[in-house]
Amino acid sequence: MSLEKALTDLKNAVGDLTSLEVQTYVGEIDVVIDGITGSTDFEKSLQQAKQAGKIQLQLVTKINFDGDGIVLVPSSAPADYVQQAHDTALQAGNDVRQGLISLFSDVIGLKASK
């Protein structure tokens, strides 16, 4: 791996830490299975469902690193299970982001003030 590629990858990783975005869809989705590994290709499945009009974006939340956020919600309240799934994904994403920030801080020698 070249230094330039490593720096680009690091820049992209840090850029991903600057905001957290969760999109919650409702509808029908056919899962594409990769025959070699037996794993799902979620991005491909999502793209196909979008193109076929089988899913609808229900909720979107984006939280920037500085705490500013954008929340898009439908005019009528989503089903409780949809809201719970969205909230759980937000919490999981935030937990991962906090863990990565802590890891990077430890790696570069920054200590959180107590």
**Per the domain annotation, does 71 fall within a domain?**
yes
Work out the average pLDDT over 2-7. 71
**Mean pLDDT for the chain?**
80
Please give the single-letter amino acid code of residue 58: Q
Quick one: tokens of 57? 């974006």
The answer as to whether 54 is a domain residue is yes
Give SS3 for 43. Answer: helix
Which one, of 114, 8, 16, 7, lies nearest residue 65 by Cα? 16
What percent of the chain stands above pLDDT 70? 75
Tens digits of per-residue pLDDT, 12-65?
666 666 788 999 999 987 776 766 665 677 788 888 888 888 899 999 999 987
Whether the pLDDT of residue 7 is over 90: the answer is no
Q: With beta carbons less than 8 A apart as the criterion, state whether 19 and 63 touch.
A: yes
Q: 43 lies in a domain? A: yes
Which domain range does residue 61 map to?
Answer: 18-108
User: Is the residue at 50 inside a domain?
Assistant: yes
Highest mean pLDDT among 31-40, 46-55, 73-82, 99-108: 73-82
- pLDDT score for 114: 47
Q: Is 113 contained in some domain? A: no
Whole-angstrom distance, CA of residue 76 vs CA of residue 79: 9
User: Does the residue 2 lie in any domain?
Assistant: no
**Mapping DSSP to helix (H, G, I), strand (E, B) and coil, where does residue 61 land?**
strand
Structural domain count of the chain: 1
Residue 9 in any domain: the answer is no
Encoding tokens for residue 28?
A: 């029908």
pLDDT value of residue 41: 76
| Distances, alpha carbon 112 to alpha carbons 24, 100, 104, 106, in Å | 33, 14, 12, 9
